[in-house]
Amino acid sequence: MRIPLAIAVSIASLMTACPVRAEIERTISIATEGASPPWDGTDANGKLYGYDIDVGLELCRRVKIKCAFVAQDWDGIIPALLVGKYDVIMSGMAITEKRKQSIAFSVPYAAGFNQFVVRKEIGLDAGDIKEKLNLSMVGTREKAIIERLRSTLRGKAIGVLRSSNSEAVLKDLFGDIVTLRSYDSLDNLKLDLAAGRVDGGLADYFTWRDFLETPDGSIAVFFGPELNGGLWGPGVGAGMRKEDAELLGKFNTAIEAATRDGTMKALSLKWFKMDISPTLAK
């Protein structure tokens, strides 16, 4: 049977359009811890919220793909990505050389910093909590700050999130003078801090800031300088499997566009009350 020319052309057009339609309707899954607001949290109804979620949805809109967020415990977040449980990690994850050995990272979509908090009742001198300490450039000044911190924290029990860069920094700089307590979630660290089972903790500044504004967090204060660089890397990025180079490239383009047009700044002001949008490469 011969097919009329007009019908044949229509069929060919549909076949040509299918790959484009499939790309537009593709759905990816994005993992986040859901326990570190304002980066990512979980509300009373079990819904995920936060900066990571808003940025992820914005990037998917720009890339023209659908995305769904899933919650994943922090200490298994990279292994689960590698076995295909989801496609992307967006969970306030710092870009580090160690992590880049197993996964690929997008360009940064945020620049944050870490800080200690301690219980008020132990009476430590907090020092200048607005001082900045970049561990990528450790000179005479930086060494003096670290020694001052070591002297003040000696003998204290300090909590930290397991498998985090904060844990690595704590072990490297203070592991021989503090009792290090590693936790499977920041929620459990906060509970122990409020109950007096640890003297302090090291984690993302913004996570602490929100906690200190709660009744449980009122027992603690910031301690020491703002910490960044070193093992924390150049910023926060989206993690993907190395073979997903096409998706990575699209995310990079979307992040740079959203940074350039001010969307990243607006989202960071919404969630952090300050601009932590990344600096674009010149």
What DSSP designation does 122 have? Answer: G
Q: Are residue 95 and residue 138 in the same domain, yes or no?
A: no
Q: Assess if residue 84 is contained within a domain.
A: yes
- The per-residue pLDDT for range 233-260, each reduced to its tens digit, is 889 999 999 999 999 999 999 999 999 9
Q: Assess if residue 98 is contained within a domain.
A: yes
What does the alpha-carbon distance between residue 159 and residue 195 come to, in Å, rounded to a whole number?
A: 13
DSSP letters for 182-249: EES-HHHHHHHHHHTSSSEEEEEHHHHHHHHTSTGGGGEEEEEEEEESGGGTTSB--EE-TT-HHHHH
Q: Assess if residue 12 is contained within a domain.
A: yes
CA 29 from centre of chain: 17
The pLDDT assigned to 263 comes to: 98
Q: Assess if residue 172 is contained within a domain.
A: yes
Q: Are residue 30 and residue 90 in the same domain, yes or no?
A: yes
- The per-residue pLDDT for range 148-175, each reduced to its tens digit, is 999 999 999 999 999 899 999 999 999 9
The pLDDT assigned to 38 comes to: 93
Query: 253: burial class by Cβ within 10 Å (0-12, 13-18, 19+)?
Result: middle
| pTM given for the model | 0.77
Instruction: Judge contact between 120 and 81, C-beta under 8 A.
Output: no
Q: Are residue 101 and residue 241 in the same domain, yes or no?
A: yes
Q: Are residue 32 and residue 56 in the same domain, yes or no?
A: yes
Question: HSE of 248 in the Cβ direction (CA atoms, 13 Å)?
Answer: 16
Q: Are residue 168 and residue 101 in the same domain, yes or no?
A: no
Q: Assess if residue 280 is contained within a domain.
A: no
Q: Are residue 194 and residue 262 in the same domain, yes or no?
A: no
Q: Are residue 148 and residue 62 in the same domain, yes or no?
A: no
Give mean pLDDT, residues 184-189: 93
Q: Are residue 221 and residue 131 in the same domain, yes or no?
A: yes
Element (H, E) at 269: helix 263-272
pLDDT at 6 over 90: no
Give the CATH number of the domain where residue 60 resides: 3.40.190.10
- For the chain, give me the number of helices (H) and strands (E)? 10, 13
Q: Are residue 9 and residue 59 in the same domain, yes or no?
A: yes
Give mean pLDDT, residues 177-199: 96
Q: Nearest Cα to 233, choosing from 146, 165, 154?
A: 165
Query: 260: burial class by Cβ within 10 Å (0-12, 13-18, 19+)?
Result: exposed
Q: Are residue 170 and residue 224 in the same domain, yes or no?
A: yes
Q: Are residue 192 and residue 266 in the same domain, yes or no?
A: no
Scan for tokens 């952090």, then name that residue. Answer: 272
pLDDT at 21 over 60: no
Q: Assess if residue 23 is contained within a domain.
A: yes
Tokens encoding 214: 């709660």
Which is more confident, 112 or 219?
A: 219
- The confidence band for 112, taking pLDDT boundaries of 50, 70 and 90, is confident
Q: Are residue 91 and residue 131 in the same domain, yes or no?
A: no
- The per-residue pLDDT for range 69-101, each reduced to its tens digit, is 999 999 899 999 999 999 999 999 999 999 999
Q: Assess if residue 126 is contained within a domain.
A: yes
Domain extent at residue 87: 5-111+234-272
Q: Assess if residue 198 is contained within a domain.
A: yes
Give mean pLDDT, residues 194-218: 95
To the nearest whole percent, how much of the chain has pLDDT over 70? 90
Number of structural domains, the chain? 2
